[in-house]
Amino acid sequence: MLSAQDFKGVYGILPTPATDGADRWDATDTVDLDETARLTEKLIADGCSGLLALGTTGECATLTGDEFEAFADCLLSTVGKRVPVLVGATTLGTHETVRRLRFLRDRGADGTMLGLPMWQPCSEQQAVKFYASISEAFPDMAIMVYANPHAFRFSFPVSFWGAVAEAAPTVTSAKFANPASYLECLAASRSKINFLPIDSMALAFAQQSPDAMTASWATAACMGPQPCVALMKAIDAKDFDLARDITKDIAWANETFIPGGNVEEFGKFNLQLEKIRFQESGYCRPGPIRPPYDIVPDEYAEGARECGRRWSEMVKKYTSTGVRQ
C-alpha cells in the first residue's frame, strides 16, 4: 500500500473524456475510451509520477454506474501498474462507495481519492468514522482525502487530521489547498499523511517544509504536465530560484482562469472551465460537458480558453526533465 513517503512528483488529474452528444439528457455510454487510453499514455510519457481520476474534473457525479466502470477499467488496464493510480469513488453514502471500491480494488487501483458524502454535511465525528470505515473495509488500498471544503461542505479542520490519522491507517495522503494551515495539519497527523498541494501552491508548501512536500496534484497536467514536472524537479533539487520562476509562469497562465478571482464563483463552473481549457490547449480531447453542468457564461469560457492558450506556450518552454528550452 502507498505510504505517505511514497508520493513523489506530479499526480495528474484526468477528465473523463466524453463522446459527441454527451451533453444531451438522453445520452448513454458517453465515455470516449480511445481518448481515455491515449491521454493516459501521454501523461505517463510526459512525466506524471501518478494519476488521479474521477473527482470533480472527472465528472464522477454525472456518470452512470456503467460509465464509471468503463472508464476506470480502461484507465487501470492502460496504466498496468506503471505508476500509482488513485480513482475517485465519492458517492452520497458509505454503502455505494464500498460497492464502487470493490470494483476498483478488483481492477488493480492503488487507492482512492475520496471525498465525503455531502447531501447532508458531515460532522467531524461522522467524517472521521466514514474514512475509518473505508479503511477497515479496504486495508490494502490507500486513501487520499479529497479535502475540498466547497464541494463537501466540511472545513477539514486541524483536529480532523489528527483524528483521521489515528482512526483510518490507510489515509496516507490528502488533496489539499490550504497553505495557512499546512504545518498544523502535518503536525496533527504526525506526518502520517502527505498533504499534496495544487501545482501553483507547491513552492509555498515546500518553503514551509522542504522535506515533507514531495508531491503535488495538477488538473493543469491535462494541458501538458511539463511545467508542473519542471516545478517539482526544481523543488526536489532545492532550486527555489528556478521554482519561483516556474511558479510565476504558472500564475501568468492561470491569470484569466478563475472568474474575477472569485473562488466561490469558480466552484459553480469548476469542471466546465477545466474541460474548456483542456480543449483549447490542444493536449487532449475532453469532449462535451455532461449535464446539468453544461452551462457556463461566455466570458468565463473565454477566460478558460485564454488559460489553455497560455499554458500551451508554457509546454513549449519547459521540457519534462525540468530544463528550460
Instruction: Give me 26's grid cell.
Output: 438522453
Predicted TM-score of the model (pTM) = 0.96
* DSSP notation for 182-210: HHHHHHHTTT-SEEEPBGGGHHHHHHH-T
All structural domains of the chain: 9-321 (3.20.20.70)
219-239 pLDDT tens trace = 999 999 999 999 999 999 999
* Percent of the residues in the chain that have a pLDDT greater than 90, as a whole number: 98
185-204 pLDDT tens trace = 999 999 999 999 999 999 99
Burial class (CB in 10 A: 0-12, 13-18, 19+), 325: exposed
* pLDDT confidence of residue 321: 46
**Strand locations in 20-170, DSSP E?**
50-53, 85-87, 111-114, 142-146
Measured between alpha carbons, how far is 23 from 77 in angstroms, rounded to an integer? 27
* pLDDT confidence of residue 322: 44
Per residue in 66-103, is it b (16+ CB within 10 Å) or e — as a string?
ebbbbbbbbbbebbeeebbbbbbbbbeeeeebeebbeb
* pLDDT confidence of residue 86: 99
Burial class (CB in 10 A: 0-12, 13-18, 19+), 204: middle
149-165 pLDDT tens trace = 999 999 999 999 999 99
* pLDDT confidence of residue 288: 98
Among 11, 146, 293, 300, the one annotated catalytic: 146
What is the radius of gyration, based on Cα positions, of the chain? 18
Q: Is 248 a catalytic residue?
A: no
Instruction: Give me 174's grid cell.
Output: 490528502
Q: Is 42 a catalytic residue?
A: no
At a CB cut-off of 8 Å and minimum separation 6, what does 325 contact? 316, 317, 318, 319
Sites in the chain below the pLDDT cut of 50: 320-325
Among 11, 131, 175, 233, the one annotated catalytic: 175
Inter-residue contact 6 to 49 (CB < 8 Å): no
φ, ψ of residue 111 to 5 degrees: the values are 180, -165
107: three-class secondary structure by DSSP: coil
* pLDDT confidence of residue 91: 98
Instruction: Give me 311's grid cell.
Output: 499554458
Q: Is 16 annotated as a binding residue?
A: no
> What DSSP designation does 121 have?
P
